[in-house]
């Protein structure tokens, strides 16, 4: 067993634990900001877990399992260019996590931003996630 395969097994197991832990975070299907934030966090974690497991499976597990056939499989899938599939997959959790940032913008200012521009908020100062107690 190669070091790459061994570490891939531990990394994959850890990713599955993280994914399972986030499936257990169930919020009510409310329409408030907290419910949306938790839902997008959960979806983003699940998507990133899937992408990282697929990437690890391709680069670590498939090489060992395919043995001497790896060069043929690697070439048939486009060689190094196949990594573009995983890189595009990373865009999915980024979408969900940028939506979280949009939900963190105060409701009275949210209409000024989209999920793609909310990363700029706040424009000049640090953002307070938890409101101060009065």
Domain ranges of the chain: 3-120
Report the predicted TM-score, pTM, of the whole model to 2 decimal places: 0.74
Per mean pLDDT, which range of 4-8, 12-16, 19-23, 128-132 is the poorest? 128-132
What pLDDT score was predicted for residue 1?
A: 65
pLDDT at 25 over 60: yes
What angle (nearest 5°) sits at the alpha carbon of residue 78, between those of residues 75 and 82?
125
- Give φ, ψ of 100 to 5 degrees: -60, -45
**Cα–Cα dist 81/61, whole Å:** 18
User: pLDDT for 56-109, tens place per residue?
Assistant: 888 888 888 898 999 999 999 998 899 999 999 999 999 999 999 999 999 999
């Amino acid at each position: 067993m190669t070091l790459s395969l061994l570490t891939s097994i531990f990394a994959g197991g850890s990713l599955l634990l993280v994914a399972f832990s986030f499936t257990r975070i169930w919020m009510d299907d409310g329409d408030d900001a907290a419910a949306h934030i938790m839902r997008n966090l959960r979806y983003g974690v699940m998507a990133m877990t899937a992408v990282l497991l697929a990437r690890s499976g391709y680069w670590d597990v498939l090489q060992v399992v395919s043995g001497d056939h790896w060069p043929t499989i690697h070439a048939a899938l486009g060689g190094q260019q196949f990594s573009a599939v995983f890189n595009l997959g990373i865009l999915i959790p980024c979408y969900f996590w940028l939506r979280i940032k949009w939900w963190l913008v105060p409701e009275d200012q949210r209409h000024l931003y989209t999920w793609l521009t909310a990363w700029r908020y706040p424009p000049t100062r640090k953002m307070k996630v938890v409101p101060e107690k009065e």
